[in-house]
Structure 1
Amino acid sequence: MSICEYKPGLENIPATQSSISFVDGQQGILEYRGINIEELGQYSSFLETSYLLIWGGLPTEEELAEFEHEIRYHRRLKYRIRDMMKCFPESGHPMDALQACAAALGLFYSRRALDNPAYIRAAVVRLLAKIPTMVAAFQLMRKGNDPVQPRDDLDYSANFLYMLNEREPDPLAARIFDICLILHAEHTINASTFSAMVTASTLTDPYAVVASAVGTLAGPLHGGANEEVIEMLEEIGSVDNVHAYLDSCLERKAKIMGFGHRVYKVKDPRATILQDLAEQLFEKFGRDEYYDIAVALEQAVAEKLGHKGIYPNVDFYSGLVYRKMGIPTDLFTPVFAIARVAGWLAHWKEQLAENRIFRPTQIYTGARNAPYIPSEKRQSTQDKDLLAGLIAE
């Protein structure tokens, strides 16, 4: 067998075949099961979109009503999971709490009947229903408060905002949040989805699959970027500082958070929709102080880096939308996870259909036929590193 060319990050190397979503990075197109993301954002709901992704087609009215009913009545958590969450440190990141809670679900529903459609549907329902409750519960618990119980009379997005803020949300805010979930639900074989697929290929339970994906999403180069966008806008401080900040980043070759994408070479279509949603929120509830900075930064980056295909991605405007809804910055990525559970489960289900465990190869670059050296004759590895550093200087 010939040695294949090594590509860091497996860039442009197909890892699977999938019919779940399609991206054209040159044209700025994103489709779920062939349906354009703009249409889904305008006409669909998050749960309908989740059904589309996971089961491969839009549900009938009866199918959607049954699915929504199941989700609505599986939102509550086992009291032992709540007790476990009370032991988490208040300073812990919500993504770490979410990963632990998602994995803990497997203790209560550990039967791995992966060839049983009823088991698969029950796992889908539990994960979609309970993940938002976990996120909201940890947010209140870390402030010393009891979690707010879900309300069966509220739809998916309105219920989450209610549990989070302890008050029923404005209908516009609830609808915009639902669209945000649609936009974040799926995006081909990104890092967290690939993590989910590798875990799924071992035929472990779906709760471990989602927990592994949550851990991957937590990184700042993936889901954590929207948190860092807000930190960046805070650091810039005003529109007057935009060009100086950008020049400094370019000089230091520092990453500009919220810009650039491995696939998109034009403005991410989700960023365009999110910017419009942000403006709708600002029109009703007041303008965010950082929005003008964001717009000025987008213009400045387009002028200097547009020729390189660097434009806003989904993370650039999403944080501004969530801020206006009163969502804390460190919950931005857990909110991303609430949405992306739909995509992870879709790929989990697709992986099960024609499963083969992932086992990539490597290109070995280490020593060969090295002798074993007795401990009394060994040189410290740290000393070797230090010596190499001094020689380099």
Structure 2
Amino acid sequence: MELQVTNNFSDITSEILALAKMSEQAGSIAPELYTQYDVKRGLRDLNGKGVLAGLTNISDVRATKIVNGEAVPAHGQLFYRGYNVEDLVRGFSKDNRFGFDEVTYLLLFNKLPNKEELESFSRLLNSYRSLPTSFVRDIIMKAPSKDMMNTLARSVLTLYSYDDRADDVSLPNVLRQCLQLISLCPMLSIYGYQAYSHYHDGNSLYIHQPSQTLSMAENILHILRPDSSYTPLEAKILDIALILHMEHGGGNNSSFTTRVVTSSLSDTYSVIAAAIGSLKGPRHGGANIKVVKMFEEMKEEVHDWKDDEEISRYLARLLNKDAFDHAGLIYGVGHAVYSKSDPRAVIFKGFVERLSEEKGLHDEFELYNSVERLAPAVIAKERQMYKGVSVNVDFYSGFVYKMLGLPMELYTPIFAIARMVGWSAHRMEELATNSKIIRPAYKTLCTDQPYVELSERK
């Protein structure tokens, strides 16, 4: 086959289509072979339970309880270093404090900081909120991408060139790099969006410098909004959103990616860029965007938002691939681990309702609430269920970001800003205990073939 030369970088020629068909045929494996060889596809069994691939002391995702010696579905719980996240949120909320720095300290160092330790740590994070000279002009403003996750990954990789100890994988140096990336991630994400918004959409360009006295959530709103203004409730809810997205066990795709690449002893910037690439995928970090878009159509299709029967009919249409993106999914409902409830969604819901009242969107919140209540029964009627289903954190997070006026392009980068903490903790833990490169086994289905001379091939 003679290939057609093209100067268009994005052209898909007829030759590429033909080769793609061959590639598809070469990569096709009969589903029954996975059962025959007892292969856990996606490193999960038929019930969705993950294959044990490692040990961690960072967080714990609990979705079952033991009854008469058997595991049965239970309301979900999430623990950071042994502390129930619900207790952590209740603690700093009661004191009317922002919790990002405190929970970051806990995840990285396995202890809750006292007042002096917390103040010192916050000063350290604030001291790292400074990009290299001309980085915004020379890197972020050049070739702005429509996808902010790609922009974020590129910026992270480029920071390698500014680090004289970029390849040093000693724990003190990696900790320094991780703390810098935690502090810089909001600027890399938001400045990337501002550049795209300016050059592609013709909007005014705002590059606000972060404040040394503001919390992480306050700084995000400060550098994003043209007037840098926000209400206390807006900042508080964004702070809680960041904390609920910080960490979710070593088995989630991006954290596992972090550990896999770390186990090869690659540099911190490459590891975090790989994790960002994982989180970008709509099966992982992009789900809240799908939720918001789904509800935008739902608000048009469902005429009476208080009519349970009409809402249920629309949900059934979603499952039957007759609405929205025809994927057969109700986005934001269901989770790989949780069944009866996702604790992050439970914690979030009360704060979301308060924000909806402040924004005059309580009717829309009630629509979300109705879908949360009705969807499990609709799914159970339409699908064979192996475990219960409930809404997950993505169900409400997109609605929150919409109420905060965040552009949709930043929904997944906000997730990355939060999860940078969890990735850092997993990188540190993997390096501290690392003895082998992570390398699972794959069974080959190839058969031996005799070599054929080029002149004799058909």
The answer to whether the superposition gives a TM-score over 0.5 is: yes
Q: Choose the corresponding residue for 1:76, options 130, 136, 149.
A: 130
Residue equivalent to 1:101: 155
Q: Name the TM-score, length of structure 2 as normaliser.
A: 0.77
Whether the 8 Å contact between 2:318 and 2:330 is mirrored in structure 1 is: yes
Note the C-alpha offset of 1:4.
7.2
Note the C-alpha offset of 1:190.
0.2
Q: Tell me, what secondary structure is at the counterpart of 2:197?
A: coil
Residue equivalent to 1:85: 140
Question: C-alpha separation between the residues in 1 aligned to 2:169 and 2:457?
Answer: 54
Q: 2:317 is matched by which residue type in structure 1?
A: S
Matches within 5 A, 1:1-393: 5-11=38-44, 12-26=50-64, 27=74, 28-44=76-92, 45-82=99-136, 83-89=138-144, 92-109=146-163, 111=165, 112-117=167-172, 119-144=173-198, 145-166=205-226, 167-188=228-249, 189-237=251-299, 238=302, 239=305, 242-252=311-321, 254-287=328-361, 290-305=364-379, 308-355=387-434, 356-372=436-452, 374=454, 377-378=457-458
Q: 1:300 is matched by which residue type in structure 2?
A: L
Give the direction of change, closer, same or farther, for the CA distance of 1:315–1:279 in structure 2 (3 Å limit).
same
Question: C-alpha separation between the residues in 2 aligned to 1:371 and 1:349?
Answer: 47
Whether the 8 Å contact between 1:258 and 1:313 is mirrored in structure 2 is: yes
Whether the 8 Å contact between 2:279 and 2:285 is mirrored in structure 1 is: yes
Question: C-alpha separation between the residues in 1 aligned to 2:197 and 2:170?
Answer: 42
Note the C-alpha offset of 1:203.
1.2
Question: C-alpha separation between the residues in 2 aligned to 1:373 and 1:132?
Answer: 57
Q: Which structure shows the bigger proportion of residues in helix conformation? A: 1
Q: 1:98 is matched by which residue type in structure 2?
A: L
Note the C-alpha offset of 1:71.
1.1
Q: Tell me, what secondary structure is at the counterpart of 2:38?
A: coil
Note the C-alpha offset of 1:339.
0.4
% of aligned pairs identical? 36
Q: Name the TM-score, length of structure 1 as normaliser.
A: 0.90
Question: C-alpha separation between the residues in 2 aligned to 1:88 and 1:282?
Answer: 37
Question: C-alpha separation between the residues in 1 aligned to 2:191 and 2:455?
Answer: 52
Residue equivalent to 2:47: none
Whether the 8 Å contact between 1:94 and 1:330 is mirrored in structure 2 is: yes
Q: 1:181 is matched by which residue type in structure 2?
A: L
Q: Deviations over 1:80-124 (max 9, x none)?
A: 43121111335x11111111111112221252332252x233212
Residue equivalent to 1:389: none
Whether the 8 Å contact between 1:274 and 1:321 is mirrored in structure 2 is: no
Question: C-alpha separation between the residues in 1 aligned to 2:221 and 2:260?
Answer: 32
Cα-Cα RMSD: 2.0
Structure 1: runs of 5 or more not aligned: 379-393
Give the direction of change, closer, same or farther, for the CA distance of 1:95–1:290 in structure 2 (3 Å limit).
farther
Q: 2:273 is matched by which residue type in structure 1?
A: A
Note the C-alpha offset of 1:129.
0.6
Q: Tell me, what secondary structure is at the counterpart of 2:153?
A: helix
Note the C-alpha offset of 1:70.
1.3
Q: Which moves more between the two structures, 235-244 or 41-50? A: 235-244
Q: 1:245 is matched by which residue type in structure 2?
A: Y
Whether the 8 Å contact between 2:144 and 2:195 is mirrored in structure 1 is: no
Note the C-alpha offset of 1:370.
4.9
Whether the 8 Å contact between 1:23 and 1:29 is mirrored in structure 2 is: yes
Note the C-alpha offset of 1:359.
1.1
Question: C-alpha separation between the residues in 2 aligned to 1:288 and 1:332?
Answer: 22
Q: Tell me, what secondary structure is at the counterpart of 2:320?
A: helix
Give the direction of change, closer, same or farther, for the CA distance of 1:133–1:124 in structure 2 (3 Å limit).
same
Give the direction of change, closer, same or farther, for the CA distance of 1:375–1:309 in structure 2 (3 Å limit).
farther
Whether the 8 Å contact between 1:136 and 1:164 is mirrored in structure 2 is: yes
How many residue pairs match? The answer is: 374
